[in-house]
Structure formats: structure tokens, C-alpha cells
């Protein structure tokens, strides 16, 4: 009887050892330092299922968290200009704090009119060309299975606008002169935004027999006729400015058969033309107009 009891007891002992060894074998298959958050979760589930020891026995303290970090260079790019951005992704955990390249991570870029993505190479690097449509921020995000994502920001600066000469406006827009008179013209060059821009202006007269214009924009009437004055700078020119030149006569101011009001207005105009600086008529020409008016 005692022998039978001893045999049964020995059998149970053997079965218990087999079960314990099986549990240990099942646990030993999960041992080893995890390489990502999924393996950490599997390890924790294994210990919970088998009632085994804490994860310390698997070579790591507590439950490490695996994360990605990303560095973008340059950190700032201009808008409306294609620029290469190099993105370096690293992986680490909060226990060992050792950074290693994250090969095969997906990097996505979005914002400021940019939408693109790529995959890191064996060194954890991917380079993407961005061409932002305006100032703002490009958000970079690195993702990989089993890791917390990493983010970085690339700022986008407003494009540098280079002023370009676009228009030249001449004043006055027309001129009616008497032979021998002069007329000062001015040029107003402006850029593509309508702002004044400093450029060297040259002047031309299409008919130099009628009148000439110097580098300062001063026109001199030489003979009766019509000429076109233009202000020029490189490939940009002003609109045509028509200059009409006539030989002096009293009738220019005092139209024959004119009403008293018209004759008075003509006299005043003659006086204005004389006293303007520079004078458009001579003193003797003004006197001839006055003689005709009061005579």
C-alpha cells in the first residue's frame, strides 16, 4: 500500500515538473530584449499569461518605449523656389537612450502647399524636393510599425521679390510749342508692383529736325512739325508723347473772328506762356500779342 502511494506521488511530481518545464520553455521563447513596442507588448502578455516573473528577467527594466525622432535640414526654405530637404530619422527607446538609424521609416511632408512622402534608406535618410506655394510651415512626420512617430517643422519664408522695371510714365503726356521754346519732361519708372524704381533714363525724339531732347529731359523746339518723345530704360519704353511745334504768330493766341472772351483768354494764355519757367514765348512775341489785343 505504501509503495502504491509512493508511486502515485512520484507520478504527480513528474507531471508537475513537465508542466513547469513547459511553462519555462514557453516563456523562454519570448526572452530577449525587445526591438519595438509590439515586442514589448508581446513580452508583457506572455508574462501575464504564464504568471511568470516581471519583464526584468527578459533583459530590460520595466517596459521601454520605442520612438522615432526626425531632423530636417534646412530648417527654413523660401516659398516659390524648389528646395531639397534632407530628413534624418533615428530610433531609440527611453531606457537605453541609444540612437540608431531608422531604416524603412515613412516620412510625410505637408503644409504650405506641399504634400509628398518618402522612405528612409539604410542610413535613416530620405531627401525630398519641396516647392511651397506661400509662407507658412511644412510639417514632417516619421512613422514606422512598432514605434511612436516623430515630427519636425520646416518654416517657409515669403519669397524674395526682386523689383523689375515694368512701366515708364512721362509727364506732360503731350506738348504744343512754338519754335524756339523749351519743354521739360519728367519720367516716372515703376516696378511690377507699381512702386518707384531707380533706373537710368534715356530720352529720344523721333524727328530731331523738329526738336531735340537732352539727357535731363529738356526738349527744344527747332522747327514747325511733329515729333514723338520717349523715355527709355533697357527694353522698357514709355508711351508715345506727341510734341507739336509751330512758328509763332499772333493768331495762335488771338484767333481771327474770336469773341471778346476768347481773345481775352488768348491774351492770358500768352502771358502764362511768357512768365512760365522756362518761357514758351519771348518778350517781343508777348508784346506783339498785347499790341494786337489792345490795338
Query: Residue 279 burial by CB count (10 A; 0-12/13-18/19+): exposed, middle or buried?
Result: middle
In this predicted structure, what is the pLDDT of residue 53? Answer: 53
- Domain assignment present for residue 260? The answer is yes
The reply to whether 38 falls in a domain is no
Give tens-digit pLDDT for 154-184: 999 998 889 999 999 999 999 999 999 999 9
Q: Are residues 144 and 225 in the same domain?
A: no
Give the domain extent around 136. Answer: 66-157
For range 25-49, the mean pLDDT: 67
- Do the Cβ atoms of 29 and 52 come closer than 8 Å? no
Domain count, the chain: 2
Q: Which CATH number is 72's domain given? A: 2.60.40.10
| Residues 70 and 152 sit within 8 Å (Cβ to Cβ) | yes
Asked which of 157, 191, 225 is the last residue of a domain, the reply is 157
150 and 170 share one domain: no
124: in domain: yes
Average pLDDT over the chain, rounded to whole? Answer: 87
Q: Choose the final residue of a domain: 136, 157, 178.
A: 157
Quick check: 87 and 126 in contact, CB under 8 A?
A: yes
Whether 194 and 283 share a structural domain: yes
Residues 175, 152 share a domain: no
In a domain, 187, yes or no: yes
- Is the confidence at residue 218, as pLDDT, over 60? yes
Q: What is the CATH number of the domain that holds 233?
A: 2.60.40.1080
User: Do both 113 and 183 map to the same domain?
Assistant: no
Q: Which residues are CB-neighbours of 205 under 8 A, at least 6 positions away?
A: 211, 212, 213, 219, 227, 228, 229, 243
Q: Please indicate, yes or no, if residue 96 is contained in any of the structural domains.
A: yes
CB contact at 8 A, 135 and 158: yes
Same domain, 120 and 213: no
Q: Is the pLDDT of residue 66 over 80?
A: yes
Do 169 and 289 lie in one domain? The reply is: yes
257 and 174, same domain (yes or no): yes
Within-domain flag for 208: yes
Q: Would you say 194 and 208 are in contact if contact means Cβ atoms under 8 Å apart?
A: no
d(CA 245, CA 281): 12
pLDDT exceeding 90 applies to what percent of the chain? 69
Q: Is residue 23 part of a domain?
A: no
Question: How far is residue 9 CA from its own chain's centroid?
Answer: 86
* Per-residue confidence (pLDDT) for residue 25, from 0 to 100: 43
Say if residue 18's pLDDT is above 50: no
Q: What is the C-alpha to C-alpha distance for residues 89 and 105, in angstroms, rounded to an integer?
A: 7
Residues 183 and 290 in one domain: yes
134 and 186: one domain?
A: no
What is the band of 26 on the pLDDT scale with cuts at 50, 70, 90?
very low
Q: Is residue 256 domain-shared with residue 185, that is, in the same domain?
A: yes
Q: Which of 112, 129, 157 is the last residue of a domain?
A: 157
Q: For residue 62, what pLDDT is reported?
A: 61
130 in any annotated domain: yes
Same domain, yes or no: 146 and 185? no
Amino acid at each position: 500500500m505504501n509503495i502504491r502511494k509512493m508511486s502515485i506521488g512520484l507520478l504527480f511530481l513528474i507531471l508537475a515538473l513537465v508542466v513547469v518545464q513547459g511553462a519555462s520553455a514557453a516563456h523562454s521563447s519570448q526572452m530577449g530584449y525587445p526591438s519595438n513596442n509590439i515586442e514589448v507588448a508581446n513580452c508583457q502578455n506572455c508574462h501575464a499569461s504564464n504568471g511568470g516573473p516581471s519583464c526584468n528577467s527578459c533583459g530590460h527594466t520595466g517596459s521601454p518605449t520605442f520612438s522615432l525622432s526626425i531632423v530636417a535640414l534646412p530648417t527654413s526654405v523660401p516659398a516659390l523656389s524648389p528646395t531639397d530637404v534632407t530628413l534624418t530619422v533615428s530610433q531609440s527607446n527611453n531606457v537605453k537612450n541609444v540612437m540608431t538609424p531608422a531604416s524603412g521609416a515613412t516620412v510625410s511632408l505637408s503644409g504650405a502647399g506641399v504634400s509628398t512622402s518618402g522612405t528612409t534608406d539604410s542610413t535613416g535618410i530620405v531627401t525630398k524636393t519641396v516647392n511651397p506655394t506661400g509662407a507658412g510651415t511644412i510639417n514632417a512626420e516619421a512613422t514606422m510599425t512598432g514605434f511612436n512617430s516623430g515630427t519636425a517643422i520646416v518654416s517657409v519664408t515669403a519669397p524674395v521679390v526682386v523689383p523689375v522695371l515694368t512701366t515708364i510714365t512721362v509727364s506732360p503726356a503731350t506738348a504744343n510749342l512754338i519754335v524756339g521754346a523749351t519743354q521739360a519732361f519728367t519720367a516716372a519708372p515703376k516696378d511690377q508692383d507699381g512702386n518707384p524704381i531707380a533706373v537710368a533714363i534715356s530720352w529720344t525724339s523721333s524727328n530731331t529736325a523738329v526738336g531735340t531732347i537732352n539727357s535731363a529731359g529738356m526738349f527744344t523746339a527747332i522747327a514747325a512739325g511733329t515729333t514723338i518723345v520717349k523715355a527709355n530704360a533697357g527694353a522698357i519704353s514709355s508711351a508715345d508723347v506727341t510734341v507739336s511745334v509751330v512758328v509763332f504768330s499772333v493768331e495762335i493766341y488771338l484767333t481771327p473772328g474770336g469773341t471778346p472772351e476768347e481773345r481775352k483768354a488768348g491774351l492770358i494764355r500768352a502771358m502764362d506762356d511768357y512768365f512760365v519757367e522756362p518761357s514758351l514765348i519771348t518778350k517781343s512775341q508777348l508784346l506783339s500779342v498785347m499790341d494786337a489785343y489792345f490795338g
